[in-house]
Structure 1
Amino acid sequence: MDKQNTDLAKQGAGKPSGLLKPSHLKNAGGVKLGLRARLLLLTTGFVLFAELLIFPPSAASQRNRWLDERVQAAEIAAIALDASPDRELSAELSGRLMRETGMLALAVGREDMRELIFAPDKAMKMPMLTIDRRHTHVWQEMWQTFGHMFAPEGRYLRILDRPGMSDAPPGDSDSDMISYVEAIMPEAPLKHMLWSYSRNIFLLSLLISALTGSLVYMAVYRLMVKPTLRMTRAVSQFSQAPDKMVPFEPSGRGDEIGLAECALQDMQETVSASFRQKTRLAALGEAVAKINHDLRNSLAVAQLVSETINRSADPNVSKSAPRLERALTRAIDLAESTLRYGRIEARPPRMEMVLLRDLAEEAVREGLAIAPEVDWLNEIDEALLVQADPEHLHRIIANLSRNAAQAVSDHGMEDGEGLITLNAATRDDIVAVVITDNGPGVPDHVRDHMFEPFSEGNSRDGTGLGLAIARELAAAMGGDIVLLPGEGTGAVFEIQLRS
């Protein structure tokens, strides 16, 4: 058993197995699409999306420029017609206009008349789309642009537009001024131009997206990804050996990455110091386990000697023997409690319905064995049931009873003999078991530390561990132990259990 205690004292001194396992960090290395690749794709996608938003008005503007060039050519032909003495265009000029602009027919409007400048010899029977640019707005122009791109083959356009080169404002009464221009031309050249423009815009957008994404990629990699990978490697290395820390040096940046680096450094120092302290405490625990083993054997021999002294014929010697025996008993209890507290935590509770009065009576008899002169009174209802682990509850009540008996026995009572009282009551969904003694009570300055191991307030049992162990057992069953405010002398402990 002593070898087991020594082995248990060593537990926790080695490398931690479950603190920061790097398995998830290793798995992260197999991710197909990292942060940098995602950022590059997102940047490229956002730029392409922005280009897509501005494409309709841009394509509409390109279409308007193409139509404006044809209308200007038609207006030039009309001006040339006005300059001609016989107000007729030569066949050469008409053919040149048709070749360069693609127009099949051209007419201009003057005041209340329409003048045909040139037209094909035969009547045209073909699908035709009329576009009156004198009464259009930007949304119509964008919609018509997409209509041109997906137009059927062989369709022609009939364009009506205001002149752009005339100095006279629209509505001038001068009959020589051109009020509108009418031109008929095939739609295929416009369709070809728009598709060529769209292809160029798409290729240019890809180039801009790739360039922008690459620049953002390099900037973010240097500012964020690279220091993040550095911290990730530091965390992975630290998780494998936190007790042998290689100090992480922050870069000194003043932004969020710099704050994260400083926080990582502080965490490493704190955790590493905790593990070094844990190693020292484990070594100290091993030494205490060995000392307790030898001390317990020595105290057992001393206890046997005290029993021999107790049978001495000398009244002075026999009178001092009980005190010596109690002191030796407390010392043995201290050694055994220290060993028990250093072992692995108590087993999980096995909850069942328990008759509280019978269990409490057995536990109190065990706890008061050290002080048979202390009387006790069990006022718990015989039919009261609680849900608890019988062994754990027995240890709790025995421990509190032993503490109360020890306090009453050590300090004595002025008003008769010591008395310990047990009662229980159901409150909401809990059963409160109250253990009261008429001893000296608990000083106010130690109440806050009553349940801390080896604290002054936990020393009613002489070991500094009894109340801490009892509260751990109660918490494992879903309950608690509290010290109630006392009325007069004595201490009042309440064990809270599920009903």
Structure 2
Amino acid sequence: MKEEFSSKETSKNLLSLDGNHPAGAGVHKSGVENHKKNRFFKLPKFETGLPARLLSLTVVFVLLAEFLIFLPSVSKFRNDWFDERVQAAEIAAIALEAAPNRQVSQGLSERLLFETQLLAVAMGDEDMWELVFSPQMPIDSIPVPMDLREERGWDSFFRTIEHATAKEGRILRILSSTDSGSDDKYIDIIVPEAALRSDLLEYAYNILLLSLLVSGLTGAFISWSLYRLVVKPMMRITNAVADFGEAPERLAAFKPSGRQDEIGKAENALIDMQSAVSNSFRQTKRLAELGEAVAKITHDLRNSLAVARLASDSLRRSEDPRVQSVAPRLERAIERAIGLAESTLLYGKSDTPKAKMASIEIRNIVEEAFLEGISAFAEIDWLNDVDEDISAYADPDMLHRLLSNLVRNAGQAISDHNIEAGLVRIAATVEKGWMHVIVEDNGPGVPVHVRDKLFLPFSISENKGGTGLGLAITRELALAMGGDVYLNHDYEHGAAFVVKLQRTDPNI
């Protein structure tokens, strides 16, 4: 059967014709439109631990990636769905051309329309329009036209969303090019949107199940890998930190895994931290015990020094010239010893000794520091290279103790290493408004590995019988006077310590 119409009357003819070859399909409803509706997924309850969070985040990210892939894939499914029906309609039209008298039986016509889910098929060009298969019954609703020849990528995407959200019962009129290669010819088909929506929902549901399966397997694998590689080692480190926090004075038995990555570095850092903190706690305990013992000894020593001071007063009244020359020096030494004992008691009471600052001449204090600090090393020469007119703003007793400690350490280092022609020299210079008193020797120098901890209490002492407190006390005395003491790293002929002092009273 063949009928000819003007192309302007195409839509009217498709709606009104009641042909002799019914499609037999009607508005095809496969029942899939209600397939899996109102489906709800009850998510399991996860704990809030790191492994559960990793699994959840991995699943979410994989689903997000699947969603970004799903949008263009469902648009392509919609286009392929239309292309399949256009090709089926064109094949049916070719079969009709080959049939006798260009007519097919009613049964074959119904079968072709049913299997392709079409309501009507027409072909034409700009001048002629031909109805190939007419609908079995009149179509009540006006078809929604969609010209696939003019659609672009985004148009297909938005059309797909429209198919999924449109009201029920819509009829679509699809215009598409034919495979003949002519731009003028087109094929015109009428399809129920319900069939497309049903197949779209089924496709989306299958993609959803596949995405959940892929995301679940991927999330489980990634979570298991992260748990084995990161979470479990970090939990081990966390537990070790928690155990160590309960008893920091006890070094916990934590063995590193031997890894060379960041986890291994964290394990090694934890071991170093535990060792440092444990040593610090032990040193603090030793300091407390030592402080208590020193306080008792100093209390008794102060009483003994009081008796010595009375004896020195008696010696001062002696007429012996040799006694009279030694008595003042002895008396000053006893006074400094008594002051040191009282300061030690105050330090044990957490009271910082206050410096008695004054403008003093340095040369005489350096002279007395040499006589006290290096007296036990008769074989070592010393040189007081400080000018007589050089003065500084400092506490004379604290400065004497400070320089005596440095001189004694220098003499001990030279004596321990049997340095021939040993020499300790003290000089003074003025740099940028500060007085620098330099104590240098020609001994073995300070090893590199102890320089960073040189002024820390109980640090490793290089001198035989050293306690590791001398330089810590020296630094404390310098800071109490508003100055500092440090090691000159550029000195190459032994060791050189620089005592930084104020030149004048900063309040004036």
Pairwise TM-score range, normalised by the shorter structure:
0.5 to 0.7
Question: Are 1:203 and 2:212 counterparts?
Answer: no
Aligned partner of 1:374 in structure 2 is none
1:259 equivalent among 244, 258, 265: 265
Question: Are 1:51 and 2:51 counterparts?
Answer: no
**Pairwise mapping of residues 7-46 of structure 1 onto structure 2 (< 5 A)?**
33-46=48-61
Q: Sort the Cα spacing of 1:208 and 1:410 in 2 relative to 1 into closer, same or farther, 3 A.
A: closer
Q: Sort the Cα spacing of 1:240 and 1:498 in 2 relative to 1 into closer, same or farther, 3 A.
A: farther
2:438 equivalent among 441, 444, 451: 444
Distance 1:206 1:235 in 2: 39
Question: Are 1:108 and 2:108 counterparts?
Answer: no
* 8 Å Cα contact 1:127-1:154 kept in structure 2: no
**Pairwise mapping of residues 338-353 of structure 1 onto structure 2 (< 5 A)?**
338-346=344-352
Aligned partner of 1:170 in structure 2 is 181
Q: Sort the Cα spacing of 1:271 and 1:309 in 2 relative to 1 into closer, same or farther, 3 A.
A: same
Deviation digits for residues 97-147 of structure 1, max 9, x if unmatched?
333333221112379532212213665341311222233333222221111
SS at match of 1:243: coil
Q: Sort the Cα spacing of 1:281 and 1:446 in 2 relative to 1 into closer, same or farther, 3 A.
A: farther
1:154 equivalent among 163, 166, 169: 169
1:287 equivalent among 289, 293, 310: 293
SS at match of 2:503: strand
Distance 1:124 1:234 in 2: 78
Distance 1:245 1:209 in 2: 45
Q: Sort the Cα spacing of 1:140 and 1:302 in 2 relative to 1 into closer, same or farther, 3 A.
A: same
Deviation digits for residues 78-115 of structure 1, max 9, x if unmatched?
12211211111222222223333332211123795322
Distance 2:484 2:503 in 1: 6
Distance 2:257 2:298 in 1: 50
**Pairwise mapping of residues 86-97 of structure 1 onto structure 2 (< 5 A)?**
86-97=101-112
Aligned partner of 1:220 in structure 2 is 226
Cα shift at 1:286: 3.3
Q: Considering only aligned residues, what root-mean-square deviation do their CA atoms show, in Å?
A: 4.1
* 8 Å Cα contact 1:74-1:183 kept in structure 2: yes
**Pairwise mapping of residues 57-456 of structure 1 onto structure 2 (< 5 A)?**
57-109=72-124, 113-120=128-135, 123-164=138-179, 169-171=180-182, 179-312=185-318, 317-318=323-324, 320-346=326-352, 395-398=355-358, 401=360, 406=365, 442=428, 444-445=438-439
2:502 equivalent among 488, 493, 497: 493
Distance 1:152 1:117 in 2: 29
Query: What is the letter of the counterpart of residue 160 of structure 1?
Result: L
Query: What is the letter of the counterpart of residue 38 of structure 1?
Result: R
Cα shift at 1:243: 2.3
Distance 2:391 2:262 in 1: 62
Deviation digits for residues 289-320 of structure 1, max 9, x if unmatched?
33222222111111112223333465654554
* 8 Å Cα contact 2:143-2:172 kept in structure 1: yes
Deviation digits for residues 242-299 of structure 1, max 9, x if unmatched?
3210232110112111121122222222332333334334433333333222222111
* 8 Å Cα contact 1:341-1:469 kept in structure 2: no
* 8 Å Cα contact 2:392-2:503 kept in structure 1: no
Q: Sort the Cα spacing of 1:247 and 1:466 in 2 relative to 1 into closer, same or farther, 3 A.
A: closer
Distance 1:252 1:465 in 2: 37
SS at match of 2:131: strand
Q: Sort the Cα spacing of 1:492 and 1:149 in 2 relative to 1 into closer, same or farther, 3 A.
A: closer
Distance 1:228 1:411 in 2: 58
Distance 1:107 1:453 in 2: 99
SS at match of 1:108: strand
SS at match of 1:170: coil
Query: What is the letter of the counterpart of residue 247 of structure 1?
Result: A
Distance 2:168 2:73 in 1: 24
Q: Sort the Cα spacing of 1:157 and 1:493 in 2 relative to 1 into closer, same or farther, 3 A.
A: closer
SS at match of 1:254: coil
Q: Sort the Cα spacing of 1:107 and 1:258 in 2 relative to 1 into closer, same or farther, 3 A.
A: same
Q: Sort the Cα spacing of 1:331 and 1:77 in 2 relative to 1 into closer, same or farther, 3 A.
A: same
* 8 Å Cα contact 2:360-2:391 kept in structure 1: no
Instruction: Please say which of residues 281-290 and 45-54 is displaced more in the overlay.
Output: 281-290
* 8 Å Cα contact 1:292-1:335 kept in structure 2: yes
Query: What is the letter of the counterpart of residue 439 of structure 2?
Result: H
Q: Sort the Cα spacing of 1:241 and 1:100 in 2 relative to 1 into closer, same or farther, 3 A.
A: same
Deviation digits for residues 424-475 of structure 1, max 9, x if unmatched?
xxxxxxxxxxxxxxxx96452369x9x97999xxxxxxx9999855654566
Mind listing any 5+ residue stretches in structure 2 that lack a counterpart?
Answer: 1-45, 372-387, 394-425, 429-436, 442-450, 462-469, 487-499
Query: What is the letter of the counterpart of residue 289 of structure 2?
Result: A
Cα shift at 1:227: 0.5
Query: What is the letter of the counterpart of residue 225 of structure 1?
Result: V
Distance 1:238 1:64 in 2: 65
Give TM-score scaled by structure 1 length: 0.64
Q: Sort the Cα spacing of 1:465 and 1:397 in 2 relative to 1 into closer, same or farther, 3 A.
A: farther
